[in-house]
Amino acid sequence: MKKILLMGNPNVGKSAIFSRLTGARVVISNYPGTTVEFTQGKMKVGEEIFMVIDAPGTYTLEPTSKAEEIAVEMLKGGDTVINVVDATNLERNLYLTLQLLEREIPIVVALNMWDDTKHRGIEIDISRLEEMLGVPVVPTCGLTGEGIKKLISRVSEAKIPKFKFSSDKERWETVGKIISSVQKITHRHHSFLDNLEDFSIKPLTGIPLSFGVIYVTFWIIRFLSEGLIRYLFDPIFQNFWLPLMNKLSIFLKEGNFLHTVLIGNLVEGKISFGSSLGVLTTALYVPLAMVLPYILSFYLLLGLWEDFGYLPRLAVLVDNLMHRIGLHGYAIVSFILGLGCNVPGALAIRLLEGRREKFIAATLMAIAVPCMAQIAMIIGLVGKRGGEYVVLIFAILFLLLIIKGLILNKFLKGTSPELLLEIPPYRIPQTKAVVKKLWMRIFIFIHEAVPLVLLGIFFINLLYAFKIIEFLAKLFSPLLIGLWGVPKETISALLVGFLRKDVAVGMLAPLNLTTKELVISSTVLAVYFPCIATFFVLVRELGIKDTLKATLIMLSTALFLGTILNFFLPN
């Protein structure tokens, strides 16, 4: 099968075009570096089927980061390149186009974001551009789908023009010549969004604004998820699922092995979705009624901010602070994605330049950035004892992030590289795009998380049945009881925590912990190890040696932190 590669600068809309060409679902956002890994899909042109590959964005064919390296590497395996170009920023984009034209590979240019050129006062003479480049040029708009059919129909006309440059200077001179003969820019007035852009990047106004943004975001997430739980998800489980489970419970009879696995243990003679720990009770209730509402609200808000283009601005504002902990501002993208799920957070580490930075970012994220599933469970469980304890846990994790960062920055050789980042213009998010992205992320959660939760509950039931939990509890009791001051039964939560953090926190529910024990065990659960899925991504991104080092740091931090909390927290 012939391969078509989508290549272009970061944030020019390659993924949107990819999605249009193949119908495949991919995450599209308004910030550079959304695609860190390639995605492939299929496209039919006439009778022939092509493999279409969405490569990470790159400014040049001399790569400066892992994501760019991947893009350049992929160029070798392609049969045709669709060079996606941002029509509102033609000059800069043409540099990569010229580099691509020097390669022995047929090219078509998609002049994307074409719809944006008019109100920006940009006029481009397409037929002249086509003539000068010697390859087909098609105006497109990935978000609305305009021009995509034309693009597909002209793929077969892709050509290898004869360009050869001896230096960068010559390349830029050619770009200059092309620009002066195909593009006209008329002056335009500052729009409201332009003013807002300036407002949010000047420190005196931008910093207060960022606090406002973060505060409002969390408030909305809380409001939405609590509403969803109270008025939708919980009633569904209580009114429809519970009667069914009650019948099943009577049918299976309490104490029976099958009853223990499917329904779990009855609490005061009743099924408790929170603490029965059955595959059909807790294992469904935790991911669907406790976690899903938070995932939904979080990704809705994240999607809006991503598409609006706020994330890079936040990165600039926090750059200074991030340097103190050995990172630069853009690492915040990893942390924010990590708040949703640590797996995409770990993948986004590719956007960082050096090995030192990647190591620090990965370690800090695994230790101190709990995923939304875990956060939801902490709010659900610890929140019952009072909101101040939830705040306490997050304050501890935040402090840990700072302290660990300061330590790693001091003791690891080298310094953190400087920020160099293109800041995209603000764009009003489109409802359709936001909903599509939200649905995709929810689908991933249901598809990948729910089976793991079921597996986790099943697995823990087996361990109980074979008395392995009892054995491990005894084995680890010096650590658990002696150092952390928590009951030895919390070992079950620590075990499940390797698989899924949400169920792990859920495992604490039936243990009747005191508030202090609950705070310590949920904090330790957040710190000691990322979930297995994140761990494997880290192995791939950092290599086994650095991942083991990071794991050692996590384990020792958990050991130390639990002991300190036990010592200092009042009973």
Partner 1 sequence: MLKDLTQMEEGELGIIKEFRGGIGFVRRIESLGIREGKKIKKISSQFLRGPQTIEIDNCQFAIGFGMAKKILVEVK
184 binds partner 1 (CB under 8 A): no
**C-beta of 123: minimal distance to partner 1 in Å?**
14
Residue among 206, 407, 472, 536 that touches partner 1 (CB under 8 A): 206
- Judged by beta carbon, residue 312 or residue 487, the one nearer partner 1 is 312
CA pair distance 554, 250, nearest whole angstrom? 45
CA pair distance 253, 95, nearest whole angstrom? 72
Footprint of partner 1 on 57-76 (CB under 8 A): 59-60, 62, 64
Residue among 48, 73, 91, 157 that touches partner 1 (CB under 8 A): 91
- Nearest 5 degrees, angle CA 289-CA 291-CA 296? 100
Give the x/- contact pattern for partner 1 in 377-416, rule: CB under 8 A. ----------------------------------------
**C-beta of 51: minimal distance to partner 1 in Å?**
28
Residue among 197, 306, 357, 541 that touches partner 1 (CB under 8 A): 197
**C-beta of 141: minimal distance to partner 1 in Å?**
18
514 binds partner 1 (CB under 8 A): no
DSSP 439-495: HHHHHHIIIIIHHHHHHHHHHHHHHHHTTHHHHHHHHHHIIIIIII---GGGHHHHH
The 10 Å CB-count burial string (b at 16+, else e) for 70-93 is: bbbebbeebebbbbbbbbbbbeeb
The 10 Å CB-count burial string (b at 16+, else e) for 328-354 is: bbbbbbbbbbbbbbbbbbbbbbbbbbe
107 binds partner 1 (CB under 8 A): no
102 binds partner 1 (CB under 8 A): no
- Cβ-based burial of 61 (10 A; exposed 0-12, middle 13-18, buried ≥19): middle
**C-beta of 126: minimal distance to partner 1 in Å?**
19
Could you tell me which stretch among 129-137, 196-204, 214-222, 250-258 binds partner 1 (CB under 8 A)? 196-204
Residue among 419, 468, 481, 559 that touches partner 1 (CB under 8 A): 419
Q: How many residues bind partner 1 (CB under 8 A)?
A: 35
168 binds partner 1 (CB under 8 A): yes
- Residue pointed to by tokens 């009973």: 571
Footprint of partner 1 on 515-554 (CB under 8 A): none
203 binds partner 1 (CB under 8 A): yes
131 binds partner 1 (CB under 8 A): no
Residue among 78, 147, 329, 485 that touches partner 1 (CB under 8 A): 329
**C-beta of 398: minimal distance to partner 1 in Å?**
21
Amino acid sitting at position 425: P
- Judged by beta carbon, residue 420 or residue 428, the one nearer partner 1 is 420
- Nearest 5 degrees, angle CA 287-CA 290-CA 291? 55
CA pair distance 541, 358, nearest whole angstrom? 8
- Residue pointed to by tokens 């279409």: 52
CA pair distance 194, 81, nearest whole angstrom? 34
Residue among 44, 202, 230, 247 that touches partner 1 (CB under 8 A): 202
- Judged by beta carbon, residue 53 or residue 317, the one nearer partner 1 is 317
Amino acid sitting at position 246: N
CA pair distance 67, 347, nearest whole angstrom? 10
SS (H, E, C) 434-446: HHHHHHHHHHHHH
User: For residue 430, what is the DSSP state?
Assistant: P
User: For residue 234, what is the DSSP state?
Assistant: H
| Run of H or E residues at 122 | strand 122-124
Helix (H, G, I), strand (E, B) or coil at 160: coil
422 binds partner 1 (CB under 8 A): yes
CA pair distance 138, 4, nearest whole angstrom? 16
**C-beta of 316: minimal distance to partner 1 in Å?**
4
- Judged by beta carbon, residue 155 or residue 316, the one nearer partner 1 is 316
CA pair distance 242, 235, nearest whole angstrom? 10
- Judged by beta carbon, residue 44 or residue 119, the one nearer partner 1 is 119
- Judged by beta carbon, residue 265 or residue 334, the one nearer partner 1 is 334
153 binds partner 1 (CB under 8 A): no
User: For residue 279, what is the DSSP state?
Assistant: T
Looking at the DSSP bridge assignments, the partners of residue 84 are 8, 110
326 binds partner 1 (CB under 8 A): no
- Judged by beta carbon, residue 423 or residue 539, the one nearer partner 1 is 423
88 binds partner 1 (CB under 8 A): yes
Could you tell me which stretch among 195-203, 252-260, 263-271, 286-294 binds partner 1 (CB under 8 A)? 195-203
**C-beta of 89: minimal distance to partner 1 in Å?**
5
User: For residue 508, what is the DSSP state?
Assistant: T
**C-beta of 7: minimal distance to partner 1 in Å?**
14
Give the x/- contact pattern for partner 1 in 281-320, rule: CB under 8 A. -------------------------------x--xxx-xx
Which distant-in-sequence residues (6+ apart) come within 8 Å of 553 by Cβ? 363, 367, 404
18 binds partner 1 (CB under 8 A): no
CA pair distance 220, 549, nearest whole angstrom? 38
| Run of H or E residues at 342 | helix 342-347
165 binds partner 1 (CB under 8 A): no
- Judged by beta carbon, residue 41 or residue 425, the one nearer partner 1 is 425
Tokens of 215: 């505060």
**C-beta of 351: minimal distance to partner 1 in Å?**
14
- Judged by beta carbon, residue 6 or residue 315, the one nearer partner 1 is 315
- Judged by beta carbon, residue 207 or residue 465, the one nearer partner 1 is 207
Q: Which residues contact partner 1 by CB under 8 A? A: 59-60, 62, 64, 88-89, 91-92, 95-96, 120, 168, 172, 197-198, 201-203, 206, 312, 315-317, 319-320, 328-329, 417-423, 425
